[in-house]
Chain A
Amino acid sequence: MRMSKIVRTGANLLYPFVIIFGLYVIMHGHLTPGGGFQGGAVVATAAALVIVAYSYEEVADIVRKVVMKAQESIGLLLFIGAGIAALIVGGPFFYNFLANSGLLFGMPVPPGPNPGDLNTAGVIPIMNVAVGIEVWGGLAIILLYMLSGLEKEGS
Chain B
Amino acid sequence: MFWNLPLFAVVALTVVGLATIVLKKNLIKVFLGITILESAVNLFLISLGYREGGIAPIYTNAPATAMVLPTPQALTLTSIVIGVATSALLLSFAIIIWKRYGSIDIDKIRRLKE
Contacts and interface: CB of A to CB of B under 8 A. Distances in A.
A and B touch in the complex (CB under 8 A): yes
Interface of A: 31-33, 37, 112-116, 142, 146, 149-150, 153
Going nearest first, the 10 A-B pairs with the smallest beta carbon separation are: A113-B62, A116-B60, A142-B88, A31-B60, A113-B59, A153-B99, A149-B95, A37-B81, A115-B61, A150-B95
Interface of B: 56, 58-63, 65, 77, 80-81, 88, 91-92, 95, 99
B73 to A, nearest CB: 10
B58 A33 contact: yes
Contact of A37 (B77, B91, B99): B77
A147 to B, nearest CB: 10
Contacts of B80: 37
B60 A115 contact: yes
B77 A113 contact: no
A29 B88 CA distance: 26
A115 to B, nearest CB: 6
Contacts of B63: 113
B65 A146 contact: no
A90 to B, nearest CB: 27
